[in-house]
Amino acid sequence: MRINAAKRRMLDGKPAIGVVIGMGAPIVGEYLSQMGFDFIMVDNQHGIWDDNSSMLAFRSIYTGPAVPMARVRQNDYYAIGRLLDRGAMGIIVPMVNSAEEAEAAAFAVRYPPQGGRSVGCVGANFLGEDYGQWINDEVFLAVQIESVQAVEQAEAILSVDGVDGCWIGPGDLSKSMGVDRSTPEGERAVEEAVMHVLDVCRKVGKIPGIAASDDAPYWVEKGFLFVTAGTDLWHMQLGARESLRKLGR
């Protein structure tokens, strides 16, 4: 049996800190897993991944202590199932704007009777012959709240059985709201929406999450538990800039 240590942390009220990888290099997941992140999210929505490279990334992540998760390309039953079949222990579904869409995601993530996931995984066999007995409990499902409609429907969305929490996308949310986050007014408006979703999570007993970068400590202090601290590309660029700065370049 594999324990989803990141999920256990969050259920205990402790923040799980992760990083998003999108550059299509599975070995990056191995190195970042060794760094101490609680989870690594393989980004199939915006990243350069296919089924096979995603599977290799999950296996690379498993060489360290981090939990492999994946953002699926879209809220699709088969796309979700294929990532789970390859070893993902968490699924993040983008652009969930209604309770019905959340129900579809929850149905796809777990085996009956909790859901409707199809039996027959091949790529996750290395997780043990008893995989089917424990995965429903250990898998983590987060739906993305990243539109005005989703914020308005947050309580209905997050009340859906099988949805463990959310992952707020402030970038898309600001676009949906029609505000500029580079202005104090725009940033304040986005934060108000974000804090509303946080309040909803607390009300219905779900795990609040958010996509962050160098502002990750701020959101952890606010009470978010499922927090991504940047991407592989962002961390690479950050390190490169710091090296060049030290060299006077």
**Tens digits of residue pLDDT in 125-165:** 899 999 999 999 999 999 999 999 999 999 999 999 999 99
3-state SS class at 132: helix
pLDDT given at position 162: 98
Encoded tokens for 66: 């981090």
pLDDT at position 244, please? 97
Residue 233 to residue 165: CA distance in whole angstroms: 26
Reading the chain (249 residues) residue by residue, the pLDDT tens digits are: 999 999 999 999 999 999 999 999 999 999 999 999 999 999 999 999 999 999 999 999 999 999 999 999 999 999 999 999 999 999 999 999 999 999 999 999 999 999 999 998 889 989 999 999 999 999 999 999 999 999 999 999 999 999 999 999 999 999 999 999 999 999 999 999 999 999 999 999 999 999 999 999 999 999 999 999 999 999 999 999 999 999 999
| Residue 46 annotated in active site | yes
Q: Would you state the pLDDT for residue 122?
A: 87
Q: How high is the pLDDT of residue 121? A: 87
The angle at the Cα of 121, spanning 125 to 140, to the nearest 5 degrees, equals 90
**Residue 241 neighbours by CB distance under 10 Å:** 11
Q: At what angle do helices 51-61 and 26-35 cross, to 10 degrees?
A: 20
DSSP of 89-117:
SEEEES---SHHHHHHHHHHHS-TTT--P
Which member of 1, 3, 46, 238 is catalytic?
46
Domains and CATH numbers, the chain: 5-142+210-246 (3.20.20.60)
